[in-house]
Structure 1
Amino acid sequence: MSIRLRLTLWYSALLAVTLFIFSVSIYLFVNYNSYRDAKNEIQEQLRTMNIVGSLDYFNGLNLDFNNPFASNVYIQVSNYTNGKFVQSDNLTRANKKFPVPDAKTVREGYVTLKVDQYKFLAYQYPLHLKENKQLVGLLQIGVYTGPIDNYMRNLRTILIFASFAVIAIAFTIGLFLARQAFRPVENVIRAAKSIQNESDLSMRIPRIGPNDELGRLTDTLNGMLGRIETTYNELDDAYKAQRRFVSDASHELRTPLTTIRGNIELLERMWPPALESGLPEEDAQTEDDRRRMTMTREAMHDIAGEAKRMSNLVNDLLALARADAGYQMEKTAQPLLPLVEDVARRAQLLPRNADWKIGNLTAIQNVQVIAHADFLRQLLFIFVENAFKYTPSGHVEMRAIRSQDQAGIIIKDTGIGMDADEVPHIFERFYRADESRGQTSGTGLGLSIAKWIIDEHGGSVEVSTREGQGTTFTVWLPIAFHDDANEV
């Protein structure tokens, strides 16, 4: 629910409560004054009456009363001893009779009497003998309240419908005014959505209306956007410079590292051990010379290993720098089965302790994908090398599956596995599971590169793992062509 609607509902509810109290007050005030006038007529009649009574059980109760208000005031005197009654002329002409309550329940005061469909406000005055206070009769002075009742009913209807009409009009006008008042806020929301969707920090919120709180808020937000844009541009420039540096440094480091690796490998091949040189014994080197030669060969071997590791790291950094720079792969339709078979064949030559198994690949027979062949090979090699690295014993298997318009390559190992909490982080750069740190070599960049390649090919990857029971990676790639369907 929007703020303007909540505000409109709040003050509409407040207006409704105010109107309710006001209407009830008016109704009670008019009702009190209207019936007070009727009571005044009754009291005036009661004051002018001269009541003289005597008890005669044979002749009944005789009362003399004066009735100057013959038009609207109706009088009836009932005798409890013989059941007879005396009425004013207007009540007699109307041929009506006030209902007489039982002598045991009668009380002095005002009551509402209903005669047929007519309502009367009446004052009941019990008549007692002076000698023994015996109840002998009842005086009823009534005023016909039909006009008053109709007036109060009409007033009640008018107040109810007028209140609803006022609330409806106030709600409609209030909603319109609230929309107008909150239009600057809507401009802020639209501008924020545009910035979010289009990433355009140069956009500013239009300034509409007076210099009120919303106007000052708009100015503040525009100033904040300006500072954010400046900071973002500075950071973006720095990030671009960093990407260029990493890319350039990777390019520059590849050449000397390649030279170092080539020379070290050449020296290792050209440096024969003294004991295997075939020289005469008198020309043989001393024990110290042979030890120094052995240490030199070990040092060259270590240098070659570190140079290879640095070369791999530089290649990984170069690949990630390309990804950060938005490098677009040139992809073409590639038959998937020959490419996977080539990876499976070459994977047998990788250093490993686990057995290498090639499972059923017929699911991707005659399947073509839109891909960059070299990067797709690199993707599969990353998962295979990763499986060998974390499988000290057991086996690593590759097989293929198909699901509708997706081709899946499964690389499954029986290695050390991972904790389920680590799975969301394995594709982050330089992340390595705690169980593997210090035990296996690596830079922590391989799976990040694999994820980039998968994303560039419009694919996805599924990970299933359990500690001590191995890990299964399933790489899904969208199929472009296959043997029993047209182009997707």
Structure 2
Amino acid sequence: MIKLYILERKSWIAFILFTHIVILFIAYVDSSIPLQSYLYIVFLVTIFFSLFVIFRYFKETKFYKQLSETEISNLIEEVQPTSSFEKIVKEKLEEQEVQLKSLITKQKSMLEQEQDELLSWVHEVKTPLTSLHLLIERIEDTQLKSQLTYEWLRVHLLLDQQIHQKRITFIENDLFMEKVNLQQTIHQEIKFLQSWCFQKGIGFDLDLKEADVISDGKWLGFIIRQLLTNAVKYSRHDDIFIKSDLYDGHIRLIISDKGQGIDVKDLPRIFEKGFTSTTNHQNHQSTGMGLYLTKKAADSLHINVKVRSKVEAGTTVVLTFPKRNEFTLIRSK
């Protein structure tokens, strides 16, 4: 503290010392001025100045110490509650925060458990559903067989959608990017829907100029299945056109139907969860989940989805796949 005090007033001390030296130098040079008298005066002034500095040191440092203690106490008061009421509020907030964290952890655990149980139930249901399909295949009555196959297919598609709805939250952990043959995947999905297509008199017109894409086979199959299901569901005795081409370095898969179409005002909302058509709002077959899940899965695969539609004229869905040199972006995430 003494060193700091002297350093802060070094200009004053230097000025006094310089003044004394100048006076003594003048007295030494000028013989008419008595040097001993000036030495005595300088000595007295130096003593008085030293006493003054010591006095001011004790007085000022006491003030600075009180000021520092006040600042520290004010800082402590700002950090800590200044009243018992604030202490109670702080304790309650901390208690509620702990309870909230515990509740969130518990709810998360319950949701994960419910999801596991639901997936387990769906897989268990698929076993008797497969057996039921084998029994339906043995039915000789063609009309009855067709009707039962259609109802079986509806249940199967709903279960499949439910499984993927639960898995899509963790889709990033489930992706396996590889070369996927579009023709093979599309034929597999068409074959799955063939009984429904026969019943409605719907055919397919394929023109696949580009056969292979880099994607996840399982999730790409799910996307195509949802789009073909929608196309078959809303078409009436017309062919569904499926083609692939190369546009601006990107492979595109285009699925077009001549079904009932989508109203222009509904197009911005078709990918929203649970949204169903406002023009056909009484259609209980629509769950509003198919296109929502399609968009979620497509985004994870970096596939751009665009829909063009007109009421009573049909719908066209364009899937644009990433370029091959963009594949590294998918693998790095």
| Contact 2:266/2:278 (<8 A) preserved | no
Q: Note if 1:306 corresponds to 2:176.
A: no
Q: Note if 1:236 corresponds to 2:93.
A: no
The one of 215, 224, 229 equivalent to 1:380 is: 224
- Per-residue Cα deviation, 1:279-309 (whole angstroms, up to 9, x for no partner): xxxxxxxxxxxxxxxxxx95x8765543442
Matched ranges for 1:112-191 at <5 A: none
The one of 463, 474, 477 equivalent to 2:307 is: 463
Distance 1:409 1:230, change over 3 A: same
Q: Note if 1:209 corresponds to 2:79.
A: yes
Task: Find the counterpart in structure 2 of residue 96 from structure 1.
Answer: none
Distance 1:339 1:305, change over 3 A: closer
**CA deviation after TM superposition for structure 1 residue 339, in Å:** 4.4
Return the letter of the residue paired with 1:317. Answer: Q
Per the normalisation by structure 1, the TM-score is 0.42
Distance 1:243 1:337, change over 3 A: closer
**CA deviation after TM superposition for structure 1 residue 254, in Å:** 1.0
RMSD: 4.2
| Contact 1:416/1:469 (<8 A) preserved | yes
Aligned partner of residue 321 in structure 2, secondary structure:
strand
Aligned partner of residue 379 in structure 1, secondary structure:
helix
Per the normalisation by structure 2, the TM-score is 0.59
Aligned partner of residue 256 in structure 2, secondary structure:
strand
Q: Could you list the structure 1 runs, at least 4 aligned residues long, displaced by more than 6 angstroms after superposition.
A: 215-220
The one of 305, 317, 333 equivalent to 1:473 is: 317
Distance 1:445 1:344, change over 3 A: closer
Matched ranges for 1:294-443 at <5 A: 305-326=150-171, 328-336=173-181, 338-339=183-184, 342=187, 349=194, 350-351=197-198, 352-354=200-202, 356-359=204-207, 361-362=208-209, 364=210, 368-369=213-214, 371-392=215-236, 394-404=238-248, 406-436=250-280, 441=285, 443=287
Q: Percent identity?
A: 17
Aligned partner of residue 475 in structure 1, secondary structure:
strand
The one of 446, 457, 479 equivalent to 2:290 is: 446
**Structure of greater Rg:** 1
- Per-residue Cα deviation, 1:13-48 (whole angstroms, up to 9, x for no partner): xxxxxxxxxxxxxxxxxxxxxxxxxxxxxxxxxxxx
Return the letter of the residue paired with 1:211. Answer: P
> How far apart in 2 are the matches of 1:235 and 1:315?
26
**CA deviation after TM superposition for structure 1 residue 243, in Å:** 0.6
**CA deviation after TM superposition for structure 1 residue 444, in Å:** 4.3
Q: Note if 1:261 corresponds to 2:105.
A: no
**CA deviation after TM superposition for structure 1 residue 418, in Å:** 1.6
Aligned partner of residue 324 in structure 2, secondary structure:
coil
* Alignment length (residue pairs): 252
> How far apart in 1 are the matches of 2:249 and 2:122?
38
| Contact 2:263/2:279 (<8 A) preserved | no
Aligned partner of residue 458 in structure 1, secondary structure:
coil
**CA deviation after TM superposition for structure 1 residue 426, in Å:** 3.0
Distance 1:226 1:469, change over 3 A: farther
- Larger relative contact order, structure 1 or 2 (CA cutoff 8 Å, min sep 6): 2
| Contact 1:344/1:358 (<8 A) preserved | no
Return the letter of the residue paired with 2:308. Answer: S
| Contact 2:180/2:217 (<8 A) preserved | no
> How far apart in 2 are the matches of 1:380 and 1:218?
55
Distance 1:442 1:254, change over 3 A: farther
| Contact 2:305/2:319 (<8 A) preserved | yes
Return the letter of the residue paired with 1:474. Answer: V
> How far apart in 2 are the matches of 1:310 and 1:345?
17
**CA deviation after TM superposition for structure 1 residue 341, in Å:** 6.5
**CA deviation after TM superposition for structure 1 residue 313, in Å:** 1.8
> How far apart in 1 are the matches of 2:119 and 2:321?
28
> How far apart in 2 are the matches of 1:385 and 1:433?
16
Distance 1:373 1:388, change over 3 A: same
Distance 1:263 1:479, change over 3 A: same
| Contact 1:339/1:373 (<8 A) preserved | no
- Per-residue Cα deviation, 1:198-231 (whole angstroms, up to 9, x for no partner): xxxxxxxxx9713159x77876665554343233
